[in-house]
């Protein structure tokens, strides 16, 4: 068996919380590893690659659930993942989008916390030329949703790609939004309990978690990839406690809003939703921070 329901992103947009929520439904099987990254080597490279055998083993415990869930939150940007998902019969994808400026700040904070981003200042991180950076540090590209969403909808069809907004998913209408998603997936809209607020902003680790090349070599030689990933996330959680994310300067916020405005306008047409009013209506105002 393999996955047929894909929570494809975007990162830092409530995907961990939605994964936890969907996992409570008796018709959904969620493996212990939320983000296996089986199909996104074109954006992440081979360092997180999982073999087909290991990937299928994640779903061996599934019984007769309708949906087998894979929540790798960078699939949204991956042509390889899109090809793979499109080739799976009756597969569906869920994309959760949020204010792209807030996503950039939240994603940068996570990379700083885990040692993947050397610039603690977001302004300094944004000053680097994207062409010189690995994909996960191309902040504006990750926060530009219109082309990825269009690709997924064109390839799978709008009925198989469910686009949610983080602000609605976690807001006063959240219960109705989540119940509608379950109906679109052909599931009974059961009462699954409150929507958790998981994977919030983290304080940077005192040392780079993956700093030692010797430790990395030994881990690769002695431990299966699945075990290495689990240990890495355990260390990350232990060394990067939750903390309040520092506010963004109004000047930087406005600069990013202007840079992303054309993409948000295009996304508005695709989704027929007033996103600039939702996301940029009061620049510098209070937004959910995680």
pLDDT class for 44, splitting at 50, 70, 90?
very high
Q: pLDDT by residue (tens digit) across 97-132?
A: 999 999 999 999 999 988 899 999 999 999 999 988
Can you list the domains of the chain with their CATH numbers? 5-204+240-280 (3.40.50.300)
pTM of the model: 0.84
How does residue 244 score in pLDDT terms, banded at 50, 70 and 90?
Answer: low
67 close to 5: Cβ distance less than 8 angstroms: yes
- How far CA 6 is from CA of 15, 28, 108, 128, in Å, comes to 11, 12, 24, 32
d(CA 11, CA 74): 7
Residues facing residue 28 across a β-bridge: 67
d(CA 61, CA 216): 30
Q: Taking residues 63-75, what's their average pLDDT?
A: 96
Residues of the chain above pLDDT 70, percent = 80
The pLDDT value recorded for residue 72 is: 96
Write down the mean pLDDT value for the chain: 86
Quote the radius of gyration of the chain (alpha carbons, Å): 19
Q: CA nearest 67: which of 159, 192, 190, 185?
A: 185
Per residue in 173-230, pLDDT tens? 999 999 999 999 999 998 888 888 776 554 555 555 455 445 555 655 566 655 655 5
d(CA 153, CA 106): 26
Nearest to 37 by CA among 23, 55, 16, 20: 55
> Quick one: pLDDT band at residue 283, thresholds 50, 70, 90?
very low
Q: Please state the rounded mean pLDDT for residues 156-168.
A: 97
Q: Collect all residues with Cβ–Cβ distance below 8 Å to 85 and sequence separation of at least 6.
A: 6, 8, 39, 75, 91, 93, 156
């Amino acid at each position: 068996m393999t996955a047929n329901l894909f929570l494809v992103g975007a990162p830092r947009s409530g995907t961990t919380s939605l994964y936890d929520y969907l996992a409570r439904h008796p018709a959904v099987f969620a493996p212990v590893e939320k983000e296996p990254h089986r199909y996104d080597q074109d954006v992440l490279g081979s360092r997180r690659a999982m073999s087909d055998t290991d990937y299928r083993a994640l779903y061996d415990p599934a019984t007769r659930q309708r949906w087998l869930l894979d929540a790798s939150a960078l699939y949204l940007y991956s042509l390889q993942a899109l090809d793979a998902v499109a080739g799976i019969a009756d597969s569906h994808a869920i994309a959760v989008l949020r204010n792209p400026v807030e996503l950039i700040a939240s994603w940068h904070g996570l990379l700083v916390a885990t040692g993947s981003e050397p610039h603690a200042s977001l302004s300094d991180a944004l000053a680097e030329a994207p062409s010189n950076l690995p994909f996960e540090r191309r902040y504006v590209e990750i926060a530009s949703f219109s082309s990825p969403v269009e690709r997924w909808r064109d390839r799978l069809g709008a009925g198989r790609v469910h686009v949610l907004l983080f602000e609605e998913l976690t807001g006063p209408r959240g219960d109705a939004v989540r119940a509608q998603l379950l109906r679109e997936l052909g599931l009974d809209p059961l009462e699954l309990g409150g929507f958790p607020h998981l994977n919030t902003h983290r304080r940077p680790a005192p040392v780079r978690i993956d700093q030692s090349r010797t430790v990395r070599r030994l881990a690769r030689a002695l431990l299966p990839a699945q075990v290495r990933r689990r240990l890495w996330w355990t260390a990350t959680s232990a060394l990067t406690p939750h903390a309040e994310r520092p506010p963004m300067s109004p000047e930087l916020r406005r600069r990013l809003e202007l840079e992303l405005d054309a993409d948000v306008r295009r996304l508005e047409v695709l989704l027929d939703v007033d996103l600039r009013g939702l996301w940029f209506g009061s620049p510098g105002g209070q937004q959910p921070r995680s």
